[in-house]
Amino acid sequence: MEIAVDTTIKLIQGLELKNPVMNASGTFAYGEECSEIFDLSIMGGIITKGLSLLPNKGNPPPRIVETPCGLINAIGLENIGVDAFLKDKLQFLMQFKTPIIVNFFGSYEEEYVECARRLSIEGVAALEMNVSCPNIKSGGIQFGTDPHTLYALVRKVRDVTTKPLIVKLSPLAGDIAEMAFSAQDAGADAITCINTIPAMAIDEETWRPTLGNITGGLSGPAIKPIALRTVWEASHKVDIPVIGCGGISSSADVIQFMLAGASAVEIGSFSLREPFCFPDIINGLTQYMGRHSIDTIQDVIGRLKL
Ligand X SMILES: Cc1cc2nc3c(=O)[nH]c(=O)nc-3n(C[C@H](O)[C@H](O)[C@H](O)COP(=O)(O)O)c2cc1C
Interface stretch with ligand X, choices 68-76, 89-97, 233-241, 281-289 (CB under 6 A): 68-76
Question: CA-CA distance, 224 to 136, in Å (whole number)?
Answer: 23
Q: Is 115 a catalytic residue?
A: no
Per-residue string for binding with ligand X, 154-183, x by CB under 6 A?
A: --------------x---------------
Question: CA-CA distance, 101 to 8, in Å (whole number)?
Answer: 17
Examine residue 62 and say whether the peptide bond preceding it is cis (omega within 30 degrees of 0): yes
Cβ-based neighbours of 10, under 8 Å, separated by 6 or more:
16, 298
245 touching ligand X, by CB under 6 A: yes
Per-residue string for binding with ligand X, 201-240, x by CB under 6 A?
A: ------------------xx--x-----------------
Cβ-based neighbours of 231, under 8 Å, separated by 6 or more:
193, 242, 244, 257, 260, 261, 262
The DSSP bridge pattern shows strands 215-219 and 70-73 to be antiparallel
Out of 17, 20, 49, 119, which residue is the one contacting ligand X (CB under 6 A)?
49
- Of 133, 193, 245, 277, which one is the catalytic site residue? 133
144 touching ligand X, by CB under 6 A: no
Q: How far is CA 73 from CA 63, 65, 112, 199, 239, in A?
A: 6, 6, 23, 9, 32
Question: CA-CA distance, 187 to 182, in Å (whole number)?
Answer: 9
103 touching ligand X, by CB under 6 A: yes
Q: Closest approach of Cβ 257 to ligand X, in Å?
A: 11
73 or 294: CB nearest ligand X: 73
Name the residues that contact ligand X, by CB under 6 A: 24-27, 49-50, 71, 73, 75, 77, 103, 130, 133, 168, 195-196, 219-220, 223, 245-248, 267-270
